[in-house]
Structure 1
């Protein structure tokens, strides 16, 4: 499957998050959504990636953006991880079952390893993808770069 690209319509999804709430992409029409894909919870770089979202939550929401931290981990694991990291605001949807289905629809599932790419996907207010960046798995995404992208689209 091809990797999602700017200009594509973002596939809608319905996933259970760390709080056992249902997260549907289409429920966020009128807002931008930052889909911050991380390979696996309980790993150092993924933890830093999610903490960066939490630490910048007010700025993200001020830019009309809802950050979502998505991985293939089951929601009970994501809930325990969120508590451990003190993630109180950012929602952490679980793409656990069918395993990696949403990541696959975005072209971001690494079937051989069983987890997603590390990637950021920005979806605009109408459901169109406006920015995609895939990172090497060991690399922490630069939150300042993400904020700069969001500010560019905020004009």
Structure 2
């Protein structure tokens, strides 16, 4: 099992360029000068991930009003992301990290424990990246349900 490196406030956010649901490349650099919430989730269209994505969808106007953009990243292929986006009416970019390079760079893929079993998988994680590309908030092992409300409280949004 790998020991994943965890990012902390003050670290430079690892750069990425990943395809979105349409196959268009989206880079973290595209958000330079803006604050962006980057969240990692295990799989599109699963109950927890759907709940979390819909919570971001429902909070997006308030987040955008505070100058915050949102990006979701999972190891799903773009076609699955497009289906998920369309089924749930998601209104922010979903990016595909099939080879898990970005997930690993952000410490969002690694050893997990569930019901006593140890395995490797996506670690549900959320980050706030500031205008200069620095990590402002790093949260690992977040809960799908209630996470966005807690994040909004933490950020006073």
* TM-score, normalised via structure 1 length: 0.87
**Residue of structure 1 equivalent to 2:15:** 12
* Partners of 1:48 and 1:139 in 2: CA distance: 7
**Whole-angstrom distance in 2 between the partners of 1:42 and 1:113:** 21
Contact 2:20 2:95 in 1 (8 A): yes
* Structure 2 residue aligned with 1:102: 102
Q: Counterpart in 2 of 1:149?
A: 154
Q: How big is each residue's C-alpha offset from its partner over 1:58-116, in whole Å with a ceiling of 9 and x where there is no partner?
A: 111111111011100011111011111121x21100111xx110011111113685642
Identify if the C-alpha distance between structure 1 residues 126 and 141 changes in structure 2 by more than 3 Å, giving closer, same or farther: farther
Residues 100 and 114, structure 1, Cα contact 8 Å, conserved in 2: no
Consecutive unaligned residues in structure 2, runs of 5 or more: 112-117
1:45 and 2:51 matched: no
**TM-score scaled by structure 2?**
0.86
Large movers: runs of 4+ above 4 Å: 111-114
- Measure, in 2, the Cα distance between the counterparts of 1:90 and 1:42: 15
Alpha-carbon separation, structure 1, partners of 2:76 and 2:120: 10
> Is the radius of gyration larger for structure 1 or structure 2?
2
